[in-house]
Structure formats: C-alpha cells, structure tokens
Amino acid sequence: MIIQVSDIPRDGLTIADTAALAAALLDRPWRLEHVALRLDRDGVDVVVTGEIGATVAQTCSRCLEEFTSEVRPAIDVRLVPRPATGADVELGADDLDVDFYDNDEVSLARLIETETLLGLPMKPLCRDECRGLCPTCGANRNTAPCTCRERPPDPRLAALRDVAARLSH
C-alpha cells in the first residue's frame, strides 16, 4: 500500500485494514494479524506510530526445528524525504528511528516488513527450556535422549577450572 504524503490530512490518517496490507508479508511464510497505524505530517516529515502483529515462521537457534512465533513491534518512525543529492546520508545515534521516503510516497508494505524484521529476536528459541542438539551425534535432545558420553573438558582451560571457588574466598 502506497500513501501519498500530500494526501495525508492535517488531523492525520489511521490505517487499520489488515487485509489491504496482508500482501506486505506474502514473500515469506509470515502472516499479518493486526495493524493499527497512525500517520501524521510534521512539515514534510511523516511520523508513523502504532502497532503491528504478525505470525512469523522461524528456526530455533538451538535445535534447528521450525516453529512459529508472534511478533508485535511498537512502531514509532519518522519518515523524511530522501535528499535530492546522490550522496550517501550519514545518520547519527539520534536518527535510529528515521527512514526515508521517495517521490511523495510512503510504502507501508516496506515499513511493515522492516519493522517486523526488527521485532524478531536475534536468537530465536522454540521454547525457553530447549535442550538443543547433541554436539557429538547431532540428535535433537528435545525428542530423544542422547547416549553420547559428555565430552571431557578442554585441557587448555584447566587453569580456570576452580577460579570461581578461589574468588569467592
């Protein structure tokens, strides 16, 4: 969905039509569940606030099993016109919530996809108590007990073995 910046009314624009924006996530096995966005003009800038909700297919970082999770990022983004110069624009630490729009058009699909990606965990887990894969045989420890013996500690770390006990005295 493309919104013309010049068409945003003075009192703002509310977007809550999930069906119209569902195509924003069709490239992946993601499903948009909820959209509640508010677009307000601040001069030539557009401030987008609200919340989106999506169901996202992910792979557990411990056991490599597929699972779905709900992502509900809060949106608070300032969109500014892309500078006319072809030069790169350097953003500072205060500009992390700033993005650009081109030709008086804001792509809500791009915004939703970006914010959903930013809402994903860096290390996705199917559940907090996931036991992961056995480092020796590769078996999923969540589904079957592993009969592999535990690896002996690395001899290079033997000097650090009782550091915690020595520090607590």
Predicted confidence (pLDDT) per residue in 98-112, tens digit: 888 888 888 888 888
110: helix, coil or strand? helix
Q: Tokens for 62, please give them.
A: 């411990």
Taking 80 as the threshold, does the pLDDT of residue 7 lie above it? yes
Residue 84 neighbours by CB distance under 10 Å: 6
Q: Name which residue leads in pLDDT, 151 or 130.
A: 130
Q: Name which residue leads in pLDDT, 117 or 158.
A: 117
The whole-angstrom separation of Cα 104 and Cα 112 is 18
CB 12 within 8 A of CB 39: yes
pLDDT digits (tens, 9 = 90+) for 58-83: 999 999 999 999 999 999 999 888 87
Enter the pTM of the model. Answer: 0.74
Exposure letters 145-165 (e unless 16+ CB within 10 A, then b): ebeeeeeeeeeeeeeeeeeee
